[in-house]
Structures are given as structure tokens and as C-alpha cells.
Amino acid sequence: MSLHIRSKQLFIHPNFIYLNNSLSNLKPFRFIEFINLKYPQIREYASKSKRRKKEKIMPSTALPLADALDILKAYEITYPNRTLELHVKTRLEKGNSPVRGSVSLPKPISKKIAWLVFAKGKNAEEAKAAGAHTVGAEELIAEIAEGNFSVGNFDKCLSTTELYPLVTKIARILGPKMLMPMVKRGTVTDDIVETIKRMDDKLGFNSDKLGWIHTGIGKISWTTKEIQGNIQAILKEINELGKGQDSNKKAAFIEKIAINPNMGESIHLLDFKNLLDFPSITTK
């Protein structure tokens, strides 16, 4: 096609633009170079779009879970006690909060949980008997607020309903460490002993700013059935949490997952969607 601009005439070709008028000969110049020079933001937008599409594509090296575990077990044959890690990519939506939750695994990962408990009187004595690392009341809350007591070495935190209003005053310190007790999570309670027993077997997880959730799921030496059971439990819990904050019901909340030893390369799983549909495995 051609466009008439005053005395000039432009002949447009998919790859070249030809400029012709009475004062010049036919001179081609590359259209792509012209676009890059005049409209660099167009190329930038295109690159971002391609990158987003590429992130959703499953790598060509992806394998079914059974095959992936066979490879990892063979690769780590001299390190059977290394931790096997799971990485789950969730779909990000503007305005949604990070995914945070906990799940009881069919085969718990043996780890001594360090408990921080805010209680006094009989509840404090019960918490110590149940294995809580540190138990305190108003004095402990004051030390944390003043910066004289570090909470960085604790895994979980509980509070009685009596002390909870005081604990909220140090929420800015406990919150970033994922330790702030909350009623909806069951960490504000007067049944300290039962809560510690119940949550000792639970695995906590949360997503980063890119939507990835990283957590341990077991040991390399575990059987395929034990590892699969833990993966299923985590994926189903993440999927349920996603339903509560997902506005796009048709799109999958979990986009892809990968597993790897804690000091090895990761392998993406082809059949992770099937794991959500299979009946849960119980190994206890």
C-alpha cells in the first residue's frame, strides 16, 4: 500500500520502508531499526509480554514425579539424608496478599519446633511442660518491644486470650517473622498443651513476592509413596487457600512446581495437576 504525505510517497513493506520523492532516489531503510529508534517503548512492552508467556511454559526437561524421584535418588545416592525441597509457583493477582498457611503432613519432617508462648499462671506451667522453649507474660512483651529479646530463633508462637491485647502492641516485630498469633490460625488459645501437640506436626509455608512457595517435603531416602503423599497434602492446601482469594475461577491457581535436593538442580513436574485429583496418601 502507499501513503501520500505532501510531496513525499512512502511505500511500506513488512521489513523495509521505501521513501521516494522528486528530489531523491528510492532509498530503503529497515523498519525495525526505525521502530527501535523512534518508539523504543514498543520493543520493551513486547519483551515483557514474551517473558511473561515464557514463564508459563513448562520446561522441556520436565518429568513425571516417579521419574524425577528416580533421577534425584540416583544422583544423591551418597547423600540419602539430604532434604528434598518443593517449589510451587502460584498465580499472582493485583491486590492479593501472600499465600500463608500450614498443613499436617502424612509423614512429618522430624524437626524440633522452638515455641514462643505468651502465658502466665497455670497456662505458663502447662506450656513449659509441653516443651515450649520460652514462656513469658508482660515482662517478656516489654523486653521484646524494647529490643532486648530476639525472636529470630523461634518457629511458632502462641498467646492466651488474656495476653493477646498486649501482644498486639509488638505485632510490628512478630509479624515480619511470621510469629504474630492470630485467632483465625488457632494460635490465640487457652488450650496451650493441645495446640502445641496438634501444631508440632504441621508444616508452615508462605509465598514470596513473585508467587513462589518454597518448603521442605522430606528426605531423599524416603519412598516415592511417602514423598508423593507430602506433596499432595501441600498442593491441596495451597489450592484451597488460593480459592479464597482468587477472582479468576477458570484459571489454575498453581501454575507449575519443581523439586530438588537442597544442594542440587531442580526438576519440574509434568503431572502435578494429577496429584490434586488423586486420593490423598496416608503413610502414618
Full 3-state SS string of 96-150: CCCCEEEEECCCCCCCCCCEEEECCCHHHHHHHHCCCCEEECHHHHHHHHHCCCC
DSSP three-state, residue 258:
strand
> Which has more confidence, 20 or 251?
251
136 pLDDT tier (thresholds 50, 70, 90): very high
Q: Does 90 map to a domain? A: yes
Q: Do 273 and 228 lie in a common domain?
A: yes
The verdict on residue 170 lying in a domain is: yes
CA distance 261 to 87: 11
Please indicate, yes or no, whether residues 91 and 212 belong to a single structural domain of this protein.
yes
Tens digit of pLDDT for each residue in 7-61?
Answer: 444 444 444 444 444 444 444 444 444 444 444 444 454 555 555 555 555 677 8
For the record, the C-alpha cell of 226 comes out as 511417602
pLDDT in tens, 63-83: 899 999 999 998 888 888 888
Strand arrangement of the beta sheet that strand 156-159 belongs to: 134-136, 115-118, 156-159
246 assigned to some structural domain: yes
CA distance 120 to 74: 52
For residue 109, is it within any domain? no
* Residue given cell 504525505 in the structure block: 5
Same domain, 220 and 248: yes
CA distance 10 to 260: 57
Listed residues 199, 230, 258: the one ending a domain: 199
Q: What is the residue-wise DSSP string for 195-208?
A: HHHHHTTEEEEEB-
Residue 32 lies in a domain: yes
d(CA 218, CA 237): 17
Q: Which residue has the higher pLDDT, 220 or 94?
A: 220
Query: Across residues 106-126, what is the average pLDDT?
Result: 87
- Residue 227 in grid coordinates: 514423598
**Which amino acid is residue 144, in one-letter code?**
I
More confident position, 32 or 164: 164
Range from 97-101, 118-122, 265-269 carrying the lowest mean pLDDT: 97-101
CB 234 within 8 A of CB 88: yes
Instruction: Tabulate helix, strand, coil % of the chain (nearest 5).
Output: 35, 25, 35
Last residue of a domain, one of 147, 173, 199: 199
Is residue 2 packed enough to be buried (19+ CB in 10 Å), middle (13-18) or exposed (0-12)? exposed
Q: Is residue 125 domain-shared with residue 89, that is, in the same domain?
A: no
Q: Is residue 158 within 8 Å of residue 134, measured between CB atoms?
A: no
Give the Cα separation of 145 and 171 in Å (integer). Answer: 9
Same domain, 272 and 283: yes
Do residues 82 and 210 share a domain? yes
Q: Are residues 206 and 191 located together in one domain of the fold?
A: no
Domain hosting 194: range is 114-199
pTM of the model as a whole? 0.59
> Given 152, 172, 199, which residue is the final one in a domain?
199
In a domain, 261, yes or no: yes
Residue 204: pLDDT band (50, 70, 90) is confident
- Estimate the crossing angle of helix 192-199 against helix 122-129, to 10 degrees: 30
Judged on CB neighbours under 10 Å (0-12, 13-18, 19+), 69 is buried
Tell whether 47 and 177 lie within a shared domain: no
- Shared domain check, 194 and 71: no
pLDDT digits (tens, 9 = 90+) for 173-193: 998 888 999 988 889 999 998
Task: Please indicate, yes or no, whether residues 92 and 143 belong to a single structural domain of this protein.
Answer: no
Q: Tell me: do 162 and 231 sit in the same domain.
A: no
Q: Which of 276, 268, 243 shows the shortest CA–CA distance to 55?
A: 268
DSSP strand pairing (115-118 vs 156-159): parallel
SS (HEC) of 61-104: CCECHHHHHHHHHHHCCCCCCCEEEEEEEECCCCCCCCCEEEEE
* Mean pLDDT in residue range 141-164: 91
Q: Looking at the 3D structure of the chain, how many domains does it have? A: 3
- Looking at the structure, do residues 97 and 214 belong to the same domain, yes or no? yes
